[in-house]
Amino acid sequence: GAGVSQSPRYKVAKRGQDVALRCDPISGHVSLFWYQQALGQGPEFLTYFQNEAQLDKSGLPSDRFFAERPEGSVSTLKIQRTQQEDSAVYLCASRGASTDTQYFGPGTRLTVL
């Protein structure tokens, strides 16, 4: 596709519910990043994939957060047993092989009630 896409754009979950957020990167981009952005803050790094390999997951806030990219393209961020503090915008970005520039998807706004 022309850009990074994410789905759903909005998700409302009840506390304790599991959610799955999807990211489709720009075709051919080997690197994929997940960020969490709270209101009024810059994005915070969660995890990084190069192709299907998850090279860094140091930003995942707890073991309730899990990300995968099994075929090196689409990625899913899963949050188990959601808590109110998980409410944020989750941004996905992809990057080509010979550049530092990351391109962002529209984000998924997660609200946990």
Partner 1 sequence: QKEVEQNSGPLSVPEGAIASLNCTYSDRGSQSFFWYRQYSGKSPELIMFIYSNGDKEDGRFTAQLNKASQYVSLLIRDSQPSDSATYLCAVILDYQLIWGAGTKLIIKP
Per rule CB under 8 A, is residue 46 in the interface with partner 1?
A: no
Q: Is 107 in the site for partner 1 (CB under 8 A)?
A: yes
Residue 56 or 80 having the CB closest to partner 1: 56
The Cα–Cα gap between 113 and 93 comes to 27
C-alpha 70/C-alpha 53 separation (Å) is 8
Closest CA to 46 of 1, 83, 17, 78: 78
Region from 20-28, 64-72, 74-82, 96-104 binding partner 1, contact rule CB under 8 A: 96-104
Which range, of 11-19, 63-71, 78-86, 95-103, touches partner 1 by CB under 8 A?
Answer: 95-103
Is residue 1 near partner 1 by the rule CB under 8 A? no
d(Cα 26, Cα 30) in Å, to the nearest integer? 9
